[in-house]
Homo-oligomer: A and B are copies of this chain.
Amino acid sequence: MRESFRGDLARLGEQLAEMCGMAAHSMRQASRALLTADLQLAEEVLAADALLDRARQSCEEHAQSLLALQAPVARDLRMILAAVYSAEKIERMGDLAAHIADTARFTHPEHVVPAEFEQVFTELGEIAAAMADRVGEFTLGGAGSGFVELNETDQAVDALHAQVMSSITGTGWAHGVRSATSLALIARFYERFADQAVSVAKRLDFAETGRTPTGEV
A residues within 8 Å of B by Cβ? 64, 67-68, 71, 73-74, 77-78, 81, 84-85, 88, 165, 168-169, 173, 176-178, 180-181, 184-185, 188
Contact = CB atoms under 8 A, between A and B. Distances in A.
Contacts of A165: 181
Contacts of A71: 71
Contact of A185 (B64, B74, B185): B185
A3 to B, nearest CB: 21
A152 to B, nearest CB: 22
A78 B64 CA distance: 8
B84 A64 contact: no
Nearest to A88: B85
Given A67-B77, A168-B181, 9 more contacts: A64-B77, A67-B81, A68-B74, A68-B77, A88-B88, A165-B181, A169-B177, A180-B181, A181-B181
